[in-house]
Amino acid sequence: MFRLKRFGRTGSLMMNRQKSFESHRPTLYLVPTPIGNRQEMTERALKILESVDCIAAEDTRNTRTLLQMYGIHTPLISHHEHNQAQSIQQITDRLAQGQSLAVVSDAGYPLISDPGQNLVRRILEQGYPVVSVSGANAALNALVASGLDCHHYVFYGFLDHKSSHRKKELERLATIPFTMIFYEAPHRIEATLKDILEVLGDRNMCLARELTKVHEEYLRGTVSEILEVAASCKGEMVIVIEGAVKKEDPDMDQLAQKVLKYAETMRLKDAAAQVSKEYNVSKNQLYQMALQQKDN
């Protein structure tokens, strides 16, 4: 039996326990659709789309074309970012009438860089099951074929379209040691890679475009290498870039010797400050160690 407490006052989820295959209540299914190759629909996804009472689609025209390919005639309603106030109410009304529904986006997984979060929260507040179905996802497709570390990763989605805001976002991510995944539109790819190069440095990366389509392409190399050809790339894109590499702790004795070398042409304190800035270590510690070495 599915039971759910209401959301807390802060909007956080309250404790609930959902047994998806034991519930017989009206259910909302989150069903992925192909990101390019229409043959990549799973058997379970097709059965759900055929069996539900209604499908809420981001773009009913695109979804109708997909359904026609598989001979599915389930009724469609529109649910997207600009009509969600009305469509969420329509979906909750249908669930209250005993209907089960599926939600699909234009391509890929619903809610991943797509509208839908408000809908899921509302449905959970109403106490109905929300069930996700496995399927296509551009971020994971790109990650596993990128050649970069897949053990730990961060999916960020789209960076801000303004360069100044985008750089601030990248600055907050600069020290993350995990592989990072971004989505990007073709008309912004060059500008975004320039900002990545400036803020994150010339890291290893993979640019995956037109995934599962006939023009699918993976570009692997450093940011600067891929930036040279990025302007000519078309189609929807996924950027996969390595995380921050942890620097080994510097040898303080060697740095103190470097301070003494710099001190041949400047004051010792200024030399310590210079080396401190270069290696991000304590200026006072360098100064004291340099003094000891000088006295010895």
CB 215 within 8 A of CB 232: no
**Percent of residues in the chain assigned helix, strand, coil, to nearest 5:** 40, 20, 40
| pLDDT at residue 100 in the model | 97
Angle formed at CA 191 by CA 182 and CA 219, multiple of 5 degrees: 55
Q: Which helix (H) or strand (E) holds 104?
A: strand 101-104
The pTM (predicted TM-score) of the whole model is 0.77
Q: How many helices (H) and strands (E) does the chain have?
A: 11, 12
Provide the β-strand partners of residue 78: 57
Helix (H, G, I), strand (E, B) or coil at 131: strand
Nearest Cα neighbor of 105 from 125, 135, 75 is: 135
In whole angstroms, give the CA distance from residue 101 to residue 29. 6
Cα–Cα distance, 43 to 10 (Å, whole number): 39
Contacts of 175 (CB under 8 A, 6+ apart): 244
Cα–chain center distance at 218: 18
> What pLDDT, on a 0 to 100 scale, did the predictor assign at position 231?
92
pLDDT for 71-104, tens place per residue? 999 999 999 989 998 999 999 999 999 999 999 9
Residue 143: the pLDDT is: 98
DSSP alpha helix (H) spans, the chain: 43-51, 60-69, 84-96, 117-125, 138-145, 163-173, 189-200, 223-230, 252-262, 268-279, 283-295
Tokens representing residue 39 in the block: 């043959």
185 touches 159 (CB < 8 A) = no
Q: What pLDDT score does 152 carry? A: 97
pLDDT of residue 6: 47
For each successive 10 residues of the chain (296 residues), what is the average pLDDT? 45 76 92 93 97 96 96 96 92 97 93 86 92 94 97 97 96 95 96 95 96 96 95 95 82 89 90 84 88 82
